[in-house]
């Protein structure tokens, strides 16, 4: 066993003595030792219940003859970090989490590993660590929050507080109504109820095969989630016995499956960033064009908040991720021969899957959109690409020519939006918010939600070298690369310039001559970056482009 290096033989007597100080017996130490990376904290709604999940995982491990050992990682709630300096640390935390899991699992050589995340950066951070460590691993998330209800209408964090705050500031709704929405939007523990980044990545873990069927959609408060946690504990022991490692699961073909599921469900644009980063840790590079190629042939089958009126619990009732995959498998849009942590192939997992509501998970013959939910745009503004959730764009904004309103930070743009300075026909340009320029590539949920809440999402576009929350909707193009801080063309845009966005043709261009653009780029005076110490300072020196997943050099 891998753990023998810390527990077997005369020379490991001091090690055993330390374990016995905790209360472990010789019998427990003789068994396979399974590390549980638990991201429980009292900050994030998606993580507040993970102690009970960990207890269920431990029960499963013990039932299958193993010894669980739990440790913790950090976690940041993106909703709470939104629209202030704290959001600079969100993407940074993905790397810290990956490093911390790696460090503990190397310092304590576990035979297997359970990953217990539930929110935005914690899920990909743990999967990055799994790819690095390459020991038998099962991911089990904490599950989705149920939607709230206010005056007979189902809502969530985005369709509630984020989208009505502009109306509240303008006095268009009463203080009583605003507080009622605020109090009702998040009624349970769990990751926010729509298909935002957290639930997108929980679905991606299932689609990749690193999590068991049901992981992506079983709500946090269902007993079914506790049973799945026990099964995860049992299954990691099976993986240890079979020596089934992440390298056998996280293959290029598995990532293509995940992209197909993502675009079919209409997931978060952050999935692009995170899948690139996980693949990088697995030893290969995804091509951004894979997203366009797969999206072109894979219809958009689910309309989940923020795009539509369904929520993750509805996807679960309709059959879950496995039902989506079964629809895709019918036309060979995914590879069903791949290994998964269930011990079965994708095909084996799909045997019992079925669509239980064809209005929630549409058939291929009746999709919400003929193309999948994601598109990578390129042009003279974004020669290395920019990402848009095309399934969340109003038909009126699929093609647009707009006048640029240029802002050097999210804060200044948000202030202008809230003060009614943005008008129909504008395109809000937010720059110096990229991985290095921010630093940290902040999410822009507050600006995009305010634009949508003010009814301007059919008239106003937004582009940025930063990124978006999974809760963003509208003509919002993020991850513009190269970023402004690296001298990318987005830094050369001037107030009043015309910008053309053509999503069907996958184009985004500044409407000036090539000669004029080159003249501007040659004369660029880049914004002087703020000097940061600590982790942000180190991050600025090491982080790469959003087009490569913002991984560290």
d(CA 366, CA 43): 41
Q: How far is CA 436 from CA 242, 440, 442, in A?
A: 42, 7, 11
Length of the chain, please?
553
Locate 484 and state its tokens. Answer: 């402004």
Place of tokens 């999410």: 443
DSSP letters along 359-390, please? TTS--TTS-SBSS-SEEEEBSSS-TTEEEEEG
How many angstroms separate the Cα of 12 from the Cα of each of 33, 301, 429? Answer: 15, 56, 60
Q: How many CB atoms lie within 10 A of CB 519?
A: 12
Closest-CA residue to 219 (of 307, 119, 142): 142
Q: Report the C-alpha gap between 312 and 271 in whole angstroms.
A: 17
- Residue 376 in contact with residue 349, Cβ under 8 Å? no
Q: Which residues are catalytic?
A: 469
In contact, 434 and 547? CB cutoff 8 Å: no
The token pair that represents 128 in the structure block: 């990055």
> Rounded CA gap, 118 and 75, in Å?
9
Task: Find, among 267, 273, 264, 306, the residue nearest to 448 by Cα.
Answer: 306
Q: Which ranges of 120-251 does DSSP label H, i.e. alpha helix?
A: 122-133, 163-169, 175-184, 197-208, 223-242, 246-249
3-state secondary structure of 185: coil
The pair of three-digit structure tokens given for residue 491, joined into one six-digit string: 């830094």
């Amino acid at each position: 066993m891998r753990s023998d290096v810390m527990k077997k033989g005369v020379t490991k007597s001091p090690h055993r003595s330390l374990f016995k100080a905790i209360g472990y017996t010789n019998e427990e130490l003789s068994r396979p030792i399974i590390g549980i990376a638990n991201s429980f904290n009292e900050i994030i709604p998606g993580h507040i219940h993970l102690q009970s999940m960990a207890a269920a995982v431990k029960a499963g491990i013990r039932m299958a003859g193993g010894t669980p050992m739990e440790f913790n990682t950090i976690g940041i709630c993106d909703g709470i970090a939104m629209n202030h300096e704290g959001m600079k640390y969100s993407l940074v935390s993905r790397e810290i989490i990956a490093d911390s899991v790696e460090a503990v699992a190397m310092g304590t050589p576990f035979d297997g590993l359970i990953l217990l995340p539930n929110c935005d950066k914690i899920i990909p951070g743990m999967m990055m660590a799994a790819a690095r460590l390459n020991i038998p691993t099962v991911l089990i998330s904490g599950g989705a929050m149920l939607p709230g209800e206010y005056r007979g209408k189902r809502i969530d964090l985005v369709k509630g507080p984020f989208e009505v705050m502009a109306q509240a500031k303008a006095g268009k709704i009463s203080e009583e109504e605003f507080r009622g929405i605020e109090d009702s939007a998040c009624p349970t523990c769990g990751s926010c109820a729509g298909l935002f980044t957290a639930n997108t990545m929980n679905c991606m873990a299932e689609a990749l095969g690193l999590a068991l069927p049901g992981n992506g959609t079983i709500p946090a408060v269902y007993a079914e989630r506790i049973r799945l946690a026990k099964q995860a504990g049992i299954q990691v022991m099976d993986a240890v016995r079979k020596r089934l490692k992440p390298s056998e699961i996280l293959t290029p073909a598995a990532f293509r499956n995940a992209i197909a599921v993502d675009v079919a469900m209409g997931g978060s644009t952050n999935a692009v960033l995170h899948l690139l980063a996980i693949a990088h840790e697995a030893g290969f590079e995804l091509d951004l064009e894979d997203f366009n190629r797969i999206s072109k042939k894979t219809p958009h089958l689910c309309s989940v908040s923020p795009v539509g009126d369904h929520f993750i619990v509805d996807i679960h009732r309709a059959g879950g991720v496995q039902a989506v995959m079964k629809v895709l498998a019918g036309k060979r849009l995914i590879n069903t021969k791949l290994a998964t942590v269930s011990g079965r192939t994708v095909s084996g997992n799909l045997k019992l899957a079925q669509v239980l509501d064809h209005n929630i998970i549409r058939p291929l013959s009746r999709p919400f959109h003929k193309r999948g939910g994601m598109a990578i745009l390129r042009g003279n503004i974004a020669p290395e690409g920019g990402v848009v959730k095309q399934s969340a764009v109003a038909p009126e904004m699929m093609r647009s020519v707009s006048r640029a309103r240029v802002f050097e930070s999210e804060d200044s743009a948000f202030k202008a939006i809230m003060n009614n300075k943005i008008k129909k026909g504008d395109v809000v340009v937010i720059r110096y918010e990229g991985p290095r320029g921010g630093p940290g590539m902040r999410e822009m949920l507050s600006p995009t939600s305010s634009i949508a809440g003010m009814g301007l999402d059919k008239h106003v576009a937004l582009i940025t070298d930063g990124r978006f929350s999974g809760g963003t909707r509208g003509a919002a193009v993020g991850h513009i690369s190269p970023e402004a801080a690296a001298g990318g063309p987005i830094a050369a845009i001037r107030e009043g310039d015309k910008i053309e966005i053509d999503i069907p043709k996958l184009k985004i261009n500044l409407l000036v001559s090539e000669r004029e653009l080159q003249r501007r780029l040659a004369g660029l005076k880049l914004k002087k970056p703020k000097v940061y110490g600590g982790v942000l300072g180190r991050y600025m020196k090491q982080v790469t482009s959003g087009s490569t997943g913002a991984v560290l050099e």
